[in-house]
Each structure stands twice: as C-alpha cells, then as structure tokens.
C-alpha cells in the first residue's frame, strides 16, 4: 500500500471490532497500513465462478438495486427525476425495462473498464474476475451510461452530469449518489490495489502522501450510507462472497486515509475527545527548525516522543512544570512525523511536518 499520513492512528488503541460477523478475525486496532492489508485479504475471498452474466442477472432478477418503496422497480445510478418526461434522468424504472435501447437500463461499470491499469478486459458474459465484480456494477439508464462514458469523477453540486473543471470534462454523480461512488471507489482501491488507483478515476488532490482523493473522502463524509447501499452489500455477500467495508462503516476510510471524519455506523471506532487533548497545541506546523508544544494545563508533567512515519523513535524528552517546550527539528529529514504526548493515563498524537 502507498504511504499513509494518517499513521497517527497506529498509536491509538481503539479496542473494538466490527459488528458484522463477516469481519470476525480482523483487528481494527492495527496501524492503517496493516489494516488496509487485512481488509484486502478479506475481500479476496469471493465466488471465483461469478461472471459478467451473473452480474446482469443480479440487476434484472435478484435485483440488488431494487427500489425500497416498490419491489417492481430498480434504482438507476445518476438518476434524479421520474416526473420530467425524460427517461434519461429517471430515478427508478420497472425491472422489465432491461436492455440497450432508449429508455432501457443496463450495467454501468462505475470504475470504468478503460481507466483501470491494466484494463478490466472485455464484457463477454462468461468473463470472471474484475470485470464482473458486482461491487463495481450498478443499474443505470442506457443513455445516462453513454453520457458518462469514461469521464473521471469530479466536483460539482446538484444533479448528475458533465462538469468542466480546470479545462477537463469530469462527471459529477449527483448529490444523492456521491457517497455511493466514493465508497465504491474505495472498495476498488482496497480490493485491486494499484490497478484501481483513485487518481485514475477521479480528479483532484490526493490526501497528502497517499493515493486517496480528498474529493472521495469528502463525499464519503458528506453523503451517508443509503438503504440501497446496505441492501446491495447484504445481497452481494450472499451471492458473491465479500462486502464493501466502507458501506458497513464509512469511518474506516477516515482511519485509513484521514480527512473529514465520516460516519461511524458501529459507534465503536471513534476516539473519545477529552478536554486534556484540547489543552495542547503545537506550532508552527509545518516547521523548519523548531516545533513548540504549548499547554494551558497548570503544572504539567508531560513526556513526548517523536516518531518517523515508519514508527521509529526519533527523539524524546519531558516537560516538567513547563507550559511551553521547544522541540528542535532542524537536523531531521523533511517529511511527516507523529508526536506522541503523554501525561499519566492521558495520551494524544499530533501529526507534524518538517520541511
């Protein structure tokens, strides 16, 4: 896995496990890089005989995208209006409306086949593997699917469509579906690694030194998991064998890659805030010569340890009855470090950057 700046969580004991039996055996207190590997290994347990034709049948008959309020219909990805007399923008459609013609729906590879590296291959119904992974396939109006083609995802607002950002045509999936998209792309990255980098399929800045897009982390936090996503996850586990962890708990993305804290659906992955934590500040950050640690606590008795991004101890010291302490960093190599500060049973980690 690529470098992860959110290593600070590797020093925090979460002491929790997932609610779903599917995750039995995974230690969610692992450092982010190891947790990524554990989830990747888990996702590799799937139905190897599942093919692209099976994915079609799931949309048409077993219907993983079945509409919550009417079992005769499917929800169409990127759709938003059933009443505007324009079938391209339909939010739902009768299950019988399957096909490749106008006002019919078909299979949308949300991570486009051509954007993976190497590509996913042809769409022969007998093909198995990445091209048939149903976690990456959604029901979509035929014309809407054509409108999207293989544009990368990009920022926008409102309903789905093409947006020009920095001179590039990008695809905004719509306010209702942006979280779905983010979690699907996170799944693809964890499941298939560098073959499905987020930077291949989305536009924007990455989260510091890792490959996850800030855009996807924002979408994951802003758009909570829907009923449809949960329904798909449950039904896909039954027929395909694995789940999308970021649907089960969006907070996993925060743990792996940082960004705006996303919803913790298990209610167990949050690190409790404490007034003691809030009493400590560090500055400047980034720094070139000195980092100051300052506290509003009276008569503090702290110890601190600075770790490299790989977890190696770089230096340590104490703060006894000092409300302000200088940490010299001028001799350190440029990069990201983790500053761990302790007082008794209290402990806090701060990310610091040395230039």
Domains of the chain in start order, with CATH, are 5-257 (no CATH), 275-354 (2.60.40.3080)
With tokens 């409306």, the residue in question is 97
Rounded CA separation 243/39 (Å): 10
Rounded CA separation 240/219 (Å): 26
pLDDT at 153: 98
pLDDT at 73: 96
pLDDT at 19: 52
pTM of this prediction? 0.73
Rounded CA separation 172/161 (Å): 5
Rounded CA separation 155/170 (Å): 8
Can you give the length of the chain in residues? 355
Taking alpha carbons only, the member of 228, 200, 224, 225 closest to residue 213 is 200
Are 221 and 262 in contact by the 8 Å Cβ rule? The answer is yes
Q: What is the mean pLDDT of each successive set of 10 residues along the chain, which is 355 residues long? A: 36 40 87 92 96 95 93 97 97 96 97 96 93 98 97 97 96 98 98 97 86 95 96 96 97 90 81 61 90 84 82 85 89 85 75 84
Rounded CA separation 256/247 (Å): 14
Rounded CA separation 113/188 (Å): 12
Query: Which strand (E) or helix (H) includes residue 296?
Result: none
Instruction: Please state whether beta strands 161-165 and 70-75 pair in parallel, antiparallel, or not at all (unpaired).
Output: unpaired
> What one-character DSSP code corresponds to residue 40?
H
């Amino acid at each position: 896995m690529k470098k992860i700046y959110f290593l600070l969580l590797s020093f925090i004991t979460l002491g929790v496990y997932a609610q779903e039996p599917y995750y039995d055996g995974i230690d969610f207190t692992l450092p982010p890089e190891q947790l990524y590997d554990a989830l990747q290994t888990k996702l590799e347990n799937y139905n190897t005989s599942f093919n692209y034709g099976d994915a079609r049948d799931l949309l048409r008959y077993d219907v993983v995208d079945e509409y919550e309020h009417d079992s005769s219909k499917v929800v169409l990805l990127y759709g938003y209006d059933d009443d505007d007399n324009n079938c391209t923008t339909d939010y739902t459609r009768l299950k019988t409306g399957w096909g490749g013609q106008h006002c019919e729906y078909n299979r949308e590879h949300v991570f486009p086949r051509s954007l993976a590296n190497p590509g996913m291959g042809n769409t022969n119904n007998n093909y198995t593997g990445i091209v048939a992974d149903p976690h990456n396939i959604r029901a979509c109006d035929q014309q809407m699917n054509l409108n999207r083609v293989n544009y990368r995802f990009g920022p926008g607002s409102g309903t789905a469509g093409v947006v020009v950002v920095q001179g590039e045509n990008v695809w905004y999936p719509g306010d209702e579906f942006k979280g779905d998209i983010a979690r699907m792309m996170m799944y693809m990255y964890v499941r298939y690694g560098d073959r499905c980098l987020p930077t291949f399929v989305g536009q924007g800045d990455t989260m510091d030194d890792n490959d996850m897009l800030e855009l996807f982390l924002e979408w994951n936090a802003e758009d909570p998991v829907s009923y449809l996503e949960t329904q798909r996850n449950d039904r896909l586990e039954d027929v395909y064998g694995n789940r999308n962890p970021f649907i089960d708990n969006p907070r996993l993305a925060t743990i792996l890659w940082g960004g705006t804290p996303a919803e913790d659906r298990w209610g167990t992955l949050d690190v409790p805030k404490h007034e003691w934590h809030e009493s400590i500040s560090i500055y400047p950050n980034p720094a070139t010569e000195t980092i100051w640690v300052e506290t509003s606590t009276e008569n503090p008795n702290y110890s601190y340890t600075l770790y490299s991004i790989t977890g190696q101890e770089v230096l340590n010291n104490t703060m006894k009855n000092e409300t302000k302490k200088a940490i010299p960093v001028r001799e350190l190599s440029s990069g990201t470090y983790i500053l761990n500060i302790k007082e008794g049973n209290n402990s806090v980690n701060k990310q610091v950057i040395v230039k």
